[in-house]
Structure 1
Amino acid sequence: MAEAGFSVTVPATTANLGPGFDHLGLALSLKMKIEATPALAWFIQYHDKEYASLPTDETNLIVQTIQQTAARYDQAVAPQKLVVYSDIPLGKGLGSSATAIAAGIEIANELADLQLSKLDKLCIGSEMEGHADNVTAALLGGMTVSYFTEEEMEVLTFPAPPIGVVIMVPPVALKTETSRGLLPEYLTHKEAIRGSAAGSLMTAAIANSDWVTAGRMMERDIYHEPYRKIGFPNFDEIRSACREVGAYGMTISGAGPSLFIAVPPETEQQVAALLDQRFPHYQAIAMQPAENGACVTK
């Protein structure tokens, strides 16, 4: 059992990239770092004001994940003080809940000496999230493509792609449950085939570093964009502006409400500045894909 303090660093993520709905994730260069030290009772201290509304006791998602992960293996963990530093916008489509879950799994693994395999961690995180896209990328880094059911899990990983990323963050957060409530219960067989083809071609294009084709396919999503785009002010205008400045493609980041824009490498700062000026009610953040996933430092 771990007694001395340690830290866990986990990247932000974006999910779907359009038609890769619920199975494609990409780690991003924004990060959450959690320092864990023994304490008499569980206490979470957030250093970022945006997280001030979150619970700081055992009801916190990170603590719940730690306890549930340990309990799966009939282990209990001693209380900790968790000091959290994060530059990941909360509830804005950048996998903040998946980051918390990934961190909790890693902390439980360390505190209870569970010696979990990568697949163990991926299965636990995906079960807790209900889908595999964000949490696999948070745990492994790079880009992940997952097949996940109650009985089976398969994950392929790709290195972080050589692109720049711009995230357009709106001023209002959107709960994932609300966003999922906008989706239809069914698609026709013909629609499903079209969506699957777009996702397959996009993934193949990314694997071949063909981001021109990948960007086009990002914008061919039929699974969620048509139903969720109504919640984004100036959605079509932003997409047109992205094309004007040479972006590969633009789509909704995860369940929203942020937008993910793939751009040629080393242009993300310039594109972010242009979009920030043109759409001031959004915050344009320049970043890159992240190679590394969750990491423990002693």
Structure 2
Amino acid sequence: MTHIIVPATSANLGPGFDSFGVAVSLYLDLEILQPASEWIITHELDGLPHDRSNLIIQTALELAPNLEPHHLKMTSEVPPARGLGSSSAAIVAGIELANFLGKLNLTADEKIQIASRIEGHPDNVMPAIVGDFVVGANVAGQVFWKQIPFPDACFVSVIPKRELKTTESRSVLPKELLFPEAVQASSIANVLLSALQQGDLTTAGKMMEADLFHEPYRATLIPEVVQLRKIAHEEKAYGTYLSGAGTTVMTVIASEYAPALVERVKNEMPDCLVHLTKVDKQGVRIVKAD
């Protein structure tokens, strides 16, 4: 059988709003089964369609309308509406499905351009496609992007058991920033990027927590950020930030300190799911199993 594996993604990393994204080791697995008379996708997620109106199939047919229908099976570790790129993972899976079945031979850049157009911005789709840490910008309708190796570290994902739609999370953001505040917010993102390029996670963590673009406004919707940040500081973490639009809160920490943080968060924040993850370096891939 053929499997399409897509990693979850964590966007923004604090000040890199709609521009920074990193792939993490939680996965959507799309198994391509036998051809069928109509498209059908088997899964166990509430509220998602099982027919051609599913986002994965919609995306595939947008690229290749004449694809032969197949029976598909999806399993996913990426929870919906939690700031871990669930819709981006579905879009990327759909692009890869069309690329594989339709023999489109798309390049990574072509996949990123298509996915960004469908998703609306590139931060989640870029790392889902190429893996690792990716920085991108949409300029005049074209996405310019660069993949950068993320320094060795663990990501502790803390996921509250409630959804938060991106539209609701964006509704609390200001329509504009004062010029001096925008300059400061941009400079914080610049230092974060430079620190990551130099492998300086101590400085990077401080910049993750100094965001002015979105976290001060979204923190009212996700109070777990403040609680987790306090715990993480006590457990020697580099930094804690709101993943995408939330509700997931992500902490970057050295691997030797990560297990203790995981256990403490499980004890002190029992209403949250906790995952210990690492950076996925591959992005979307095809795996063939017997």
TM-score under structure 1 normalisation?
0.93
In structure 2, what is the equivalent of residue 66 of structure 1? 60
Which among 14, 37, 41 is matched to residue 40 of structure 1? Answer: 37
Segment drifting more, 253-262 vs 267-276: 267-276
After superposition, give the CA deviation of every residue in 1:28-63 in whole Å (9 maximum; x if it has no partner). 0111111113211111111xx4x1321111111101
Deviation at 1:218, TM superposition (A): 0.2
Deviation at 1:169, TM superposition (A): 0.5
Deviation at 1:214, TM superposition (A): 0.2
Q: Distance in 1 between matches of 2:69 and 2:247?
A: 35
Q: Distance in 1 between matches of 2:254 and 2:208?
A: 15
Contact 2:236/2:257, CA 8 A, preserved across alignment: no
Q: Distance in 1 between matches of 2:287 and 2:248?
A: 31
Deviation at 1:189, TM superposition (A): 1.1
In structure 2, what is the equivalent of residue 28 of structure 1? 24
In structure 1, what is the equivalent of residue 118 of structure 2? 128
Deviation at 1:234, TM superposition (A): 4.2
Contact 2:235/2:257, CA 8 A, preserved across alignment: no
Deviation at 1:78, TM superposition (A): 1.2
1:198-209 alignment, distance < 5 Å:
198-209=188-199
1:209-288 alignment, distance < 5 Å:
209-288=199-278
Q: Which amino acid is 1:105 matched to? A: I
Contact 1:183/1:224, CA 8 A, preserved across alignment: yes
In structure 1, what is the equivalent of residue 13 of structure 2? 17
Contact 2:225/2:242, CA 8 A, preserved across alignment: no
Q: Distance in 1 between matches of 2:226 and 2:56?
A: 37
Deviation at 1:186, TM superposition (A): 0.6
Contact 1:245/1:271, CA 8 A, preserved across alignment: yes
**Gaps (5+ residues) in structure 2?**
none
Q: Distance in 2 between matches of 1:82 and 1:266?
A: 39
Deviation at 1:127, TM superposition (A): 0.6
Q: Distance in 2 between matches of 1:268 and 1:95?
A: 23
**Gaps (5+ residues) in structure 1?**
none
1:196 aligns with 2:186: yes
Deviation at 1:197, TM superposition (A): 0.5
Which among 67, 74, 94 is matched to residue 104 of structure 1? Answer: 94
Deviation at 1:202, TM superposition (A): 0.3
1:291 aligns with 2:288: no
Q: Distance in 1 between matches of 2:200 and 2:20?
A: 17
User: 1:68 is paired with a residue of what secondary structure?
Assistant: helix
Deviating beyond 4 angstroms after TM superposition, the runs of 4 or more aligned structure 1 residues are: none
Which among 171, 174, 181 is matched to residue 184 of structure 1? Answer: 174
Contact 2:132/2:279, CA 8 A, preserved across alignment: yes
Deviation at 1:268, TM superposition (A): 2.2
Q: Percent of counterpart pairs with the same letter?
A: 37
Deviation at 1:150, TM superposition (A): 4.4
Q: Which amino acid is 2:26 matched to? A: L
After superposition, give the CA deviation of every residue in 1:231-266 in whole Å (9 maximum; x if it has no partner). 123432321111111110111000101101100124
Segment drifting more, 152-161 vs 165-174: 152-161
